[in-house]
Amino acid sequence: MNFLKINGGHGEGGGQIIRSAITLSCITNQPIHLENIRKNRKNRGLKPQHLTAIKILQKIANADVVGNELGSTELKFIPGNIENLELIEDVKTAGSISLILQVLIPVVSISQRKLSLTIKGGTDVLWSPSMNYTQYVLKEAYSRMGIEFSIKITNRGYYPKGGGEIKLEVYPSKIKSINLLERKSNDFKLICTFSKISIKTIKDKIEKIKEKIKVKIEIKEQEAIDSGASLLIYNIDNNSIMGIDALFNKKIQNFDLDLDKIIDNSLGLDEKLADMIVVPASLTEGKTIFRVKEITNHLETNLFVTSKITGCRYGIGKIPEGFEVIIEGVSNSSIK
């Protein structure tokens, strides 16, 4: 069998390579052989949320998989035919649901299939986008690219027990390129969800935020097994989509939030979203162009891996405020 070998230790060397590789393997029907998975990390190899994403994708794509075990640093993924499915899954930890969705949504939608999924795990946990970010920021970006999905959050799930639950619906799509270059509005919105934390504490912290940024506020108390809170500030207009999210740090009794990252960003995307649109952008007809404040390790790694699997072309140019990224998708007939 003709496997495409990918070094999982390249660049950022984390879960992003795994997610992008198995996503594109399914869409392009290319068997892949991932090596050195998270090999330089403290807890190397595959983690529970990676295993769950691979397991669900294995069902959706009728794939053969070798090495799908906790801690494995090597994985062979051989995709088959992608099917419409209704599934119920459980990460069984506070592993990030949002990172799993980054794999499933593009595969199903771009492959012109449908998915109904109920999944339990962590909705708002460290080192991953919050579920509100997925629902309001990523959903907007994907929708503009033709990818449609809906999420209903039935329970929140914080670290360490998780126990959150969402219901996902993914619909067939015809993807298209987009341009996101410059933020032209200041219509910021703030959504905060919390459980087992004083409403006074939450409101006091949000009042401090209001001193720095003019923002429309929505606060929701949503029951969870563990105490926790998640906050999202976002801004959407015709030329830009951006958000910044943060969890409530119980040690310092405050949100781990760097407001300057969104206040000072007058470009097209936040750094997190730039990374997430690379996979669909690589498969569209025409060029996707976006501007970001910085080229993160995640973005650079994702561009490299995506171009290796799809054959898409990309370029990065310096501009006064940051960088402009151009991705020319493989559907363009000029690319062989």
The residue among 336, 333, 298, 295 whose CA lies nearest residue 315 is 295
The residue among 136, 167, 158, 129 whose CA lies nearest residue 272 is 129
Q: Is the pLDDT of residue 40 over 80?
A: no
Is there a domain that residue 67 lies in? Answer: yes
Q: Is the pLDDT of residue 153 over 50?
A: yes
Before 79, cis peptide (omega within 30)?
no
10, 33, 50, 298: the active-site residue: 298
Is there a domain that residue 38 lies in? Answer: yes
Last residue of a domain, one of 243, 263, 283: 263
pLDDT in tens, 10-32: 877 678 899 999 999 999 999 99
Of the pLDDT bands very low, low, confident and very high (cuts 50, 70, 90), residue 332 is: very low
Looking at the fold, whether 69 and 14 belong to one and the same domain comes out as: yes
Last residue of a domain, one of 80, 110, 134: 80
Residue type, 32: I
Q: Is the pLDDT of residue 96 over 60?
A: yes
Question: Whole-model pTM above 0.85?
Answer: yes
pLDDT in tens, 199-222: 999 999 999 999 999 999 999 999
Query: CATH number, domain at 5?
Result: 3.30.110
Catalytic status, residue 10: no
Of the pLDDT bands very low, low, confident and very high (cuts 50, 70, 90), residue 48 is: confident
Is there a domain that residue 152 lies in? Answer: no
Last residue of a domain, one of 58, 80, 102: 80
Q: Are the beta carbons of 294 and 271 closer than 8 angstroms? A: yes
Confidence at residue 335, expressed as pLDDT on a 0 to 100 scale: 35
Looking at the fold, whether 6 and 74 belong to one and the same domain comes out as: yes
State the total domains in the chain: 3
321 phi and psi angles, rounded to 5 deg: -90, -10
Looking at the fold, whether 38 and 21 belong to one and the same domain comes out as: yes
Looking at the fold, whether 250 and 286 belong to one and the same domain comes out as: no
Per the structure block, which two tokens stand in for 113?
């299939």
Q: How long a stretch of residues is the chain?
A: 336
- For residue 170, the surrounding DSSP H or E stretch is strand 164-171
Classify residue 278 as exposed, middle or buried by CB count within 10 Å of its CB (0-12, 13-18, 19+). Answer: buried
Of the pLDDT bands very low, low, confident and very high (cuts 50, 70, 90), residue 159 is: very high
Is there a domain that residue 171 lies in? Answer: no
Confidence at residue 16, expressed as pLDDT on a 0 to 100 scale: 85
Of the pLDDT bands very low, low, confident and very high (cuts 50, 70, 90), residue 41 is: confident
Is there a domain that residue 214 lies in? Answer: yes
Looking at the fold, whether 288 and 241 belong to one and the same domain comes out as: no
Domain range holding 58?
A: 1-80
